Chain A
Amino acid sequence: MDYTGLFELAWIIPILPIISFLIVGFLGQKIKGRGGIIAVGLVAAAMVLSLTIAYAALTGGLPEQGYFEQSFNWVVLGSDFTIQMGIYIDAVTALMLIVVSFVATLVVIYSLGYMHDEGDRRRRYFTEISLFVGVMLGLVLANNFLELFIFWELVGLCSYLLIGFWFEKPSAASAAKKAFLVTRVGDVMFLIGLVIIFNLFHSTSYSTIFSPEEIAGVDQTWLMWGVFFMFGGAIGKSAQFPLHDWLPDAMEGPTTVSALIHAATMVKAGVYLVARMFPLLVHAENVMLLIAVIGGVTAFMAATMALNSPNIKRVLAYSTISQLGYMFLALGAGGYMFALGLEEGNEELMVAGSLGFAAGMFHLMNHAFFKALLFLSAGSVIHYVHTEEMAKMGGLRKHMKVTSLVMLIGSLSIAGIVPLSGFWSKDLILETVWEGRLDSIIFLGLYVLAVLTAFMTAFYMFRMWFLTFAGEEGEATKHAAAHHDEHHVDSHGSDEHDHKESHGHHEAPWVMLAPLIVLAILAIGSGFALFIGSGFTSVIYFEIPYTHDAGYWLEKFFWGESSFLTYISLAAAVLGIALAYFTFYKKRVDAPAIASKPAVKPLYNMLLKRYGFTKGYDYVGEKIVYGFSLALDWFDRKIIDGLVNGFSKLIQRSGAGLRRAQTGFVQTYAGVVAGGAVAMMLLLFFLLKLLGIEVHP
């Protein structure tokens, strides 16, 4: 069937939330609920269109060439440099459309409840979040890297604004600044890469620069540098080592923002960028290796920082960084193998590489669902206890049955327990990395790191769950329970609060629970996408589709040929959960005692200090850059301007009397001009004569 007419409507997708941005932004104050309903409506409409188009694209509706494209010339900078704006739809776009629009809709619905108490400020919230959804969808739909960069910067702006939503809080204002500036460092690299690519191809359109003839026709060294620098942008946006330290601070924003922007969508933009660049990247295997190493190291390092974080949102933030590292690891490992295979003409290696690409994208999708679920559940907890410190929680299971259950599902999923979604994609990533050891020994090390990360992931997630929901009730839990009982009696019969009572005394309102339940279902089930029809990898792939039925999958990857890999990853997860269970639930292991041992204490504190990165960034900003600027300021005032003033004093002393210029200014001025002109002319005549140039007056 011909879906061209449908695809031509794709430009409406980002427009819908932007209409909401305009309506709520300009008129929100006059609307009841400050525009929340409008935002939900238009974002949901964008979702419906997104899902329709994605469905068409994924079920064979795309044109023969594998993508649909339309574009127009946005601005012509010169004969060789034209910037286009357009729409590009292929399977990867479709996947991103599904993830972004779906999670966005759920988060905006959830926000109706979560932000309910913010009053008039909800206008600003819904304005900014609508803009975010619009530009994020634009980013996904862009048909060239420059357009992607434009939206890339705009999602960064929304992230900045929303992290600083409670801008009176100095910590929030500071976190927003940090997020903007650290990602900006990555963006500078992105811009450098973009300029190189733009100059190399005189275009940044996917359809142009991905064609093998074009790629073969350019200088391969420049191409390598171009993609290397563009990957720098991904490092900043997706919070990878060494630009990762902004993301934990970004938790200063509302939890809904953390869920949508800093877990499910915007931070994935870096992964998406790498996936998009794949046709170029496979010609630069060194960069692929770098991507894998950065991903692996980040995954491990971020997981260690999550081990002892006292703050529930921070644990999830570190976890996000860690999981993003997994995705880069998969893409890098797969891409490296593909690049080698391409060079050697080794078909088998290319197939393995293509599978790594699919594994990374698969994890991107699964992670979006279970991490959004975890964040929104945490939001529900914070909404109830009004603290983010896990030490003050505890025993919440009794008060928040639904929340505790869905969060358990999310934790199991991210820990990689079969058959939840996280299991399938994580296992595929580990298999890819293991496969890569044959081509570079580095991957063996990365595999070990990845397995350790899996173990730590299971441990810190269940540490979080036990500390929050199990055990004795903490002070915040008690306080909240007492307060909510009182509140319940007070507001009995009042229309304003009736929706809060639908789930017992304490649970979050239904607008918050419904999205949680939907996401929980996905956290369980989205992994089965691998087996639906001819499988996830038969539609999301790089160059080589991987079409097999469920039996083949299970046999080849899970309980057959390489079953020991599956057992290792499962064992890591189970061990992690068990350790958390005995430490934080059964209290068989005395965690505080271990932490205060002289051998462990420094390590423990180092993790709390995030390996000193926070201080390091501050040092660079406050001491080096700012210190240099103060020194330059001194130089500017004392030396450069000092010379100017000294010179003018000299003239004043010699009697010229600058002050006279003020008296009878116009006459003096006329005199200066005329006198100066005459003097200059005479001087010129003289000079020209000296140089022997003929003068014709």
Chain B
Amino acid sequence: MMFENIPILTILLILPLLGGIIAFFMGERAKLAKMFALAVSAVTLIIATVLMFDFFGLGSGLFGNYQYVEDYTWVSQLGISYILGVDGISMPMVWLTALMSLVAILFSWDITNRTSQYMGLMLILEAGVLGVFMFLDYFLFYVFWEVVLIPMYFLIAIWGGPRRDYASIKFFIFTHVASLVMLLGIFALYFQAAGALGHSTFDMREIASVAGGFDIAFQTIVFGALLFGFITKMPMVPLHTWLPDAHVEAPTAGSVLLAALLLKMGSYGIIRIAMPTLPGAWDINAGAYVVAEFPGLTWMQVIMLTLGIVSMLYGAVMCLAQKDIKKMVAYSSISHMGGVMLAFATFTQIGLAAGVFMMFAHGLITGVLFMMCGVLQHKTGTRMIPRLGGLAAKMPKAATVMMIGFMASLGLPGLVGFVAELGIFTSTFVAFNWLLLLPIMSVALTAAYYIWAMQRVLFGPLTKDIDLEHLHDLSWYEAAPLYILVAFIVGFGLFPSLIMDYITPAVLKVLMGGF
């Protein structure tokens, strides 16, 4: 362990936060702000990478425990502490956050409007997401959860498309209302735990240690409140309509971070907080409410698997109808996050592991997809699929990257999405048998919308609807982040155990009811 006496997680958190504030006030020095933001995010990524290797060196026996924990009491009267820690679930997410922030900043190199503020917000956003993935104290977790909202709101409202006002307000209200319901759940836990413990605390670990003994009705209601907050963020049908609008209006890098990181906060919340803290809501052995007709199935499982399957299929079918390719990619996120939800609903080790792996894989892949939407918009002036066509002849590099992204997203083996998908379906069968036949239809639907979109955008005769003057292949600041992501998509696709080995021991602990 390299970081025995170094508060490494605090450094990881403070770096982008301070960097962001500094960049925000750089004013007219656009070039400097860009270089500075890139440097800060690069250093953050390097630290996260070193941390991940160091973490791996601890041996898989320790991946289920929190490592590098920093625990300081902050406001003792209210039980607020400053607790940071990572385990096998959050470590890949932390690294993903650092990576996606770097590529998003790189991809934003052509930003000319209020550049320094833009870069500042990107870094603050990174810090916010890192905080969510690392804090083990409900108070600061919630604060950072909300902190994430602000930069994203401004990214859409200032640098967004024509309907940015509508989209940004919608994004804000949806996620904020959901957050408040979640907050309600957190307070319920806080007060109830205070009774059981004899002192007030926001420490997740301490609350989890007693919450399993709470009344089943109480646990179920609180789980429901937390779940409401999380599924709005993921988002699950029918609370999803903010997402396509937000994506369509958001600037490309904003979309990348929104889909790759912000959606993951929702599913992360389920597996980090709701599941291990409140086993009485879902675990038969803990006494959760069981469906009378299907002994072995709890009501919470039924709710979660319904949300998951409906979102998977609904999202996939919606993709087929979309004319705006960015909207299609947005709906595909709903479909894939539905897969995460379904995997979680199985409450098996393979399911939880596949769900977390899907979060990671989807983060990488969706980054490529949204960047490609940005490339199309930039080069052709439109994202409308019917107006495009035959682009592979003019921009072969872009076409290749887009194809790899699409193939990865539809679960082609050898690319990172496959193992996640396989795990999701295997766990679905383990837990629900023939119910597998429903969600697995999404495999065919996903192929259908991607392959069809590819045919209409890349193949066929070159379109005559657009001005081809400016049509050239990827610029360096587009190629670099795309190639980086493609390299990881292939790399982790060929060697999925590099990430999966962190996850499996950690999710086992969640299933055992350990925090």
Interface-located stretch among B87-95, B183-191, B369-377: B183-191
A697 with B194: CB separation less than 8 A = yes
Contact of B436 among A192, A630, A676 (CB under 8 A): A192
User: Contact size class for A?
Assistant: 35 or more
Does B473 belong to the interface (CB within 8 Å)? no
CA distance A648 to B169 in the complex (A): 11
Does A164 belong to the interface (CB within 8 Å)? yes
Contact indicator per residue, chain B 342-373, by CB within 8 Å of chain A (1) or not (0): 00000011100110000000000000000000
Q: Which A residue sits closest to B511, measured CB to CB?
A: A78
Known contacts A168-B390, A632-B318: A150-B497 contact under CB 8 Å:
no
B444 with A77: CB separation less than 8 A = no
Does A170 belong to the interface (CB within 8 Å)? yes
A81 with B426: CB separation less than 8 A = yes
Residues of B within 8 A of A681 (CB): 187
Residues of B within 8 A of A632 (CB): 314, 317-318, 321
List residues of A (17-72) whose CB comes within 8 Å of B's CBs: none
B413 with A149: CB separation less than 8 A = yes
Residues of A within 8 A of B459 (CB): 164, 167-168, 170, 172-173, 176
A78 with B440: CB separation less than 8 A = no
Does B468 belong to the interface (CB within 8 Å)? no
A77 with B241: CB separation less than 8 A = no
CA distance A625 to B449 in the complex (A): 11
Distance of A692 from chain B, by nearest CB (Å): 11
Known contacts A150-B418, A153-B413, A644-B241: A75-B320 contact under CB 8 Å:
no
Residues of B within 8 A of A160 (CB): 451
B165 with A181: CB separation less than 8 A = no
Q: Which A residue sits closest to B168, measured CB to CB?
A: A662
Interface-located stretch among B4-12, B172-180, B256-264, B481-489: B172-180
Contact of A154 among B188, B238, B321, B412 (CB under 8 A): B412
List residues of B (257-284) whose CB comes within 8 Å of A's CBs: none
Does B218 belong to the interface (CB within 8 Å)? yes
Does A494 belong to the interface (CB within 8 Å)? no
B321 with A630: CB separation less than 8 A = yes
List residues of A (190-206) whose CB comes within 8 Å of B's CBs: 191-192, 195-196, 198-199
CA distance A615 to B61 in the complex (A): 58
Residues of B within 8 A of A636 (CB): 241, 318
Distance of A103 from chain B, by nearest CB (Å): 24
Known contacts A167-B458, A629-B320: A688-B426 contact under CB 8 Å:
no
B455 with A174: CB separation less than 8 A = yes
Q: Which A residue sits closest to B327, measured CB to CB?
A: A633
Tell which of A150, A633, A683 has the most Cβ of chain B within 10 Å.
A633
B441 with A77: CB separation less than 8 A = no
List residues of B (266-325) whose CB comes within 8 Å of A's CBs: 314, 317-322
Contact indicator per residue, chain A 634-659, by CB within 8 Å of chain B (1) or not (0): 00100011001000100000000010
Residues of A within 8 A of B184 (CB): 680, 683-684
Does A669 belong to the interface (CB within 8 Å)? yes
Known contacts A177-B452, A632-B321: A157-B412 contact under CB 8 Å:
yes
A184 with B444: CB separation less than 8 A = yes
B195 with A672: CB separation less than 8 A = no
Does B25 belong to the interface (CB within 8 Å)? no
Residues of A within 8 A of B426 (CB): 77, 81, 195, 198-199
CA distance A149 to B496 in the complex (A): 16
Known contacts A78-B350, A154-B414, A672-B176: A181-B447 contact under CB 8 Å:
yes
B317 with A80: CB separation less than 8 A = no
Contact of B192 among A181, A665, A676, A693 (CB under 8 A): A693
CA distance A55 to B271 in the complex (A): 54
Known contacts A77-B500, A77-B504, A672-B176: A180-B447 contact under CB 8 Å:
yes
CA distance A684 to B470 in the complex (A): 59
Does A677 belong to the interface (CB within 8 Å)? yes
Residues of A within 8 A of B187 (CB): 680-681, 684
B419 with A641: CB separation less than 8 A = no
Does A245 belong to the interface (CB within 8 Å)? no
Known contacts A173-B460, A629-B321: A695-B504 contact under CB 8 Å:
no
CA distance A83 to B414 in the complex (A): 13
Does A1 belong to the interface (CB within 8 Å)? no
Does B425 belong to the interface (CB within 8 Å)? yes
List residues of B (384-431) whose CB comes within 8 Å of A's CBs: 390, 392-393, 407, 412-414, 418-419, 422-423, 425-426, 429-430
Residues of B within 8 A of A76 (CB): 497, 500-501, 504
B191 with A697: CB separation less than 8 A = yes
Residues of A within 8 A of B497 (CB): 73-76
Residues of B within 8 A of A669 (CB): 150
Contact of A695 among B146, B150, B191, B454 (CB under 8 A): B191
CA distance A181 to B180 in the complex (A): 44
Does A118 belong to the interface (CB within 8 Å)? no
Does B437 belong to the interface (CB within 8 Å)? yes
Number of A-B contacts (CB under 8 A): 185
Residues of B within 8 A of A640 (CB): 237-238, 241
Does A442 belong to the interface (CB within 8 Å)? no
Tell which of A73, A151, A184, A187 has the most Cβ of chain B within 10 Å.
A184
Distance of B144 from chain A, by nearest CB (Å): 13
List residues of A (134-162) whose CB comes within 8 Å of B's CBs: 146, 149-151, 153-154, 157, 160
Known contacts A78-B350, A199-B429: A154-B455 contact under CB 8 Å:
no
Residues of B within 8 A of A170 (CB): 459-461
CA distance A621 to B501 in the complex (A): 40
Q: Which A residue sits closest to B149, measured CB to CB?
A: A669
Known contacts A78-B353, A669-B150, A680-B180: A628-B317 contact under CB 8 Å:
yes
Known contacts A75-B500, A168-B460: A695-B195 contact under CB 8 Å:
yes
Q: Which B residue sits closest to A695, measured CB to CB?
A: B191
Distance of B145 from chain A, by nearest CB (Å): 11
CA distance A640 to B310 in the complex (A): 14
Residues of B within 8 A of A199 (CB): 426, 429-430
Residues of A within 8 A of B479 (CB): none
Distance of B317 from chain A, by nearest CB (Å): 5
Does B480 belong to the interface (CB within 8 Å)? no
Residues of B within 8 A of A633 (CB): 318, 321-322
Does A550 belong to the interface (CB within 8 Å)? no
Does A626 belong to the interface (CB within 8 Å)? yes
CA distance A577 to B109 in the complex (A): 70
Does B39 belong to the interface (CB within 8 Å)? no
Does A673 belong to the interface (CB within 8 Å)? yes
CA distance A683 to B181 in the complex (A): 11
Distance of B426 from chain A, by nearest CB (Å): 5
Residues of A within 8 A of B157 (CB): 662
Contact indicator per residue, chain B 211-230, by CB within 8 Å of chain A (1) or not (0): 00001001000000000000
Contact of A188 among B146, B192, B443, B458 (CB under 8 A): B443
B183 with A676: CB separation less than 8 A = yes
Does B448 belong to the interface (CB within 8 Å)? yes
Distance of B294 from chain A, by nearest CB (Å): 18
Does A342 belong to the interface (CB within 8 Å)? no
Does A600 belong to the interface (CB within 8 Å)? no
Between A and B, 25 residue pairs with Cβ closer than 8 Å are A76-B501, A76-B504, A77-B354, A77-B419, A78-B350, A78-B353, A78-B423, A81-B423, A81-B426, A146-B422, A149-B413, A150-B418, A157-B412, A160-B451, A168-B460, A170-B460, A173-B459, A176-B455, A177-B454, A184-B444, A192-B436, A195-B422, A629-B317, A669-B150, A696-B195
A interface residues (Cβ-Cβ under 8 A, vs B): 73-81, 83, 146, 149-151, 153-154, 157, 160, 164, 167-170, 172-174, 176-177, 180-181, 184-185, 187-188, 191-192, 195-196, 198-199, 621, 625-626, 628-630, 632-633, 636, 640-641, 644, 648, 658, 661-662, 665-666, 669, 672-673, 676-677, 680-681, 683-685, 688, 693-697
Question: Other CB < 8 Å A-B pairs besides A79-B508, A168-B390, A696-B200, 11 of them?
Answer: A77-B350, A77-B353, A154-B412, A168-B393, A168-B461, A172-B459, A173-B460, A191-B422, A629-B317, A662-B165, A688-B188
What are the 6 closest A-B residue pairs judged by CB atoms, nearest first? A173-B459, A78-B350, A633-B321, A150-B413, A629-B320, A78-B349
